[in-house]
């Protein structure tokens, strides 16, 4: 099992950034890597036989990086070539989801995660009346399906994105 099984996917990480995810995380998707004597190098860079460095934008690769986000190059200047997205672990996302008493909107709700026989994680908030967020009726089946994933981190992130979109978290 690789670390990418424990963090959000690159696609979901991009959506989190777009939606305003602010929490610092242990892991980041990045298009650069660190070389001690050179600093941060784009993953699209290759070395030619004559020792010349060439960047191939069409060969973009993304890697998971542990640690602080990359903010500057080896000369201490901001490096705009280095793109990065937080790749939170499931536990880091759970810390950001509303707890029962965090918000008036969810005061009488509790959070559930279900792992199905098919290996899908379903996340939902459940009211004592049986109502759920997202709503799970025949008319709203798309909402229900959109919060499930084979990755627990992606499923939790989809719930965070749903709550953010619906205005249930700030």
Greatest mean pLDDT range, 72-81, 95-104, 108-117: 108-117
Domain ranges of the chain: 26-86, 90-165
Strand partners, 45: 55
Question: Given this model, what pLDDT does residue 131 score?
Answer: 72
> In sequence order, what DSSP letters do the residues of 17-83 get, joined into one string?
HHHT-----SEEEESEEEETTTEEEETTEEE-TTS-EEE-GGG---EEEESSPP-B-TTSSB-TT--
Greatest mean pLDDT range, 100-109, 137-146, 153-162: 153-162
In whole numbers, what is the pLDDT of the chain averaged over residues? 76
For 12, the enclosing helix (H) or strand (E) is helix 10-19
Rounded Cα–Cα distance for residues 109 and 125 (Å): 6
**Residue 107, exposed/middle/buried by CB under 10 A (0-12, 13-18, 19+)?**
exposed
The answer to whether 144 touches 138, Cβ cutoff 8 Å, is no
pLDDT at 142 over 50: no
21-56 per-position pLDDT tens digit: 988 898 988 876 655 555 556 666 666 667 766 666
């Amino acid at each position: 099992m690789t670390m990418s099984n424990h963090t959000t996917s690159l696609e979901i990480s991009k959506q989190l950034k777009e939606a305003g995810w602010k929490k610092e995380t242990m892991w980041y998707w990045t298009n650069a890597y660190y070389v001690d004597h050179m600093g941060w190098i784009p993953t699209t860079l290759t070395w030619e036989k004559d020792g010349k460095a060439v960047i191939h934008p069409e060969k973009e690769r993304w890697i998971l990086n542990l640690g602080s986000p990359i903010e500057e190059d080896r000369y201490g200047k901001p490096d705009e070539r280095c793109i990065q997205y937080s790749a939170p672990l499931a536990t880091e996302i759970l810390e950001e989801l509303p707890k029962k008493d965090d918000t008036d909107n969810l005061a009488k709700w509790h959070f559930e995660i279900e792992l199905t026989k098919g290996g899908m994680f379903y996340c939902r908030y459940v009211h004592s009346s049986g109502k759920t967020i997202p709503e799970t009726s025949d008319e709203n089946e798309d909402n229900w399906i959109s919060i499930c994933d084979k990755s627990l981190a992606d499923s939790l992130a989809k719930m965070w994105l749903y709550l953010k979109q619906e205005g249930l978290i700030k």
